[in-house]
Structure 1
């Protein structure tokens, strides 16, 4: 049998790795730099979570407020990586929601009326996954997102 060429050899022994040399792509200060960047973006304001798209994990909101009753829902004024679907208008009804049903299924119906209960669908600008709605007061309501610690 032929001996393996260099491309076929695998390094699996820790003795062959020189840990005394600093890794080329490692930055020990990166976490501190990221924290400073986030603090500058928020301008001193607190947030309940950082929200990401559930399909592609793209960040969609850096500062938001958790809903008091529905703990998996958030609202925000400033967002990133979001598109408002002006063609898909939803009507917020005042009918009581059923236990176990998601709010968007039980309280919103597709319609094209122009009263104050009208909301537009909000999608991730990266993958077009529906992540929330924008109400008539220009407040974003997120119900299909992944929250993480701010």
Structure 2
């Protein structure tokens, strides 16, 4: 193997690149193509955000609705790159919006009731970060995601 004896004679990679030729991996129309792809995927429906995993930035949802009160939470029906842990079922207890003594009495009754909703954990399929839950009606509730403009 030939090794350079004098390092001053070595030519850098940058000197070998011809910048007058258009790079083969560059596409000036890529943004327009991506926008058309997204419109086709949504089939005319709108979305409040595109959701990504907070750990690896993998897209997990293209079409979702923001929660009315909790602005960092979203719900969706169609998801991508998500793994549901069907072995672990969690109990989610609904708390009424009442205040005072009536609320405490109602909570005690609800705690013992079987009307609490069962949910299953949802993870990013790329890195296994927990990103939300899915309920019994197969509606995904995302609370640990990064939203971006649709």
Could you tell me which residue of structure 2 aligns to residue 104 of structure 1? none
Could you tell me which residue of structure 1 aligns to residue 118 of structure 2? 118
Unaligned runs of 5+ in 1: 98-112
> Quick check: 1:3 aligned with 2:6?
yes
> Quick check: 1:82 aligned with 2:82?
yes
What TM-score does the superposition give when structure 2 sets the normalisation length? 0.77
Could you tell me which residue of structure 2 aligns to residue 25 of structure 1? 25
Could you tell me which residue of structure 1 aligns to residue 67 of structure 2? 67
Q: Over aligned residue pairs, what C-alpha RMSD do you find?
A: 2.5
Q: Kindly tell me: are residues 114 and 26 of structure 1, through their superposed partners in 2, closer, same or farther at Cα, counting changes over 3 Å?
A: farther
Cα distance in 2 for residues equivalent to 1:88 and 1:5: 63
Unaligned runs of 5+ in 2: 98-112
Structure with the larger helix share: 2
Output aligned runs, 1:107-146, within 5 Å: 115=115, 117-146=117-146
Cα distance in 2 for residues equivalent to 1:114 and 1:88: 18
What stretches of structure 1 move > 6 A for 4+ residues in a row? none
SS at match of 1:128: coil
SS at match of 1:39: helix
Would you say how many aligned residue pairs link Structure 1 and Structure 2?
131
Deviation at 1:114, TM superposition (A): 7.2
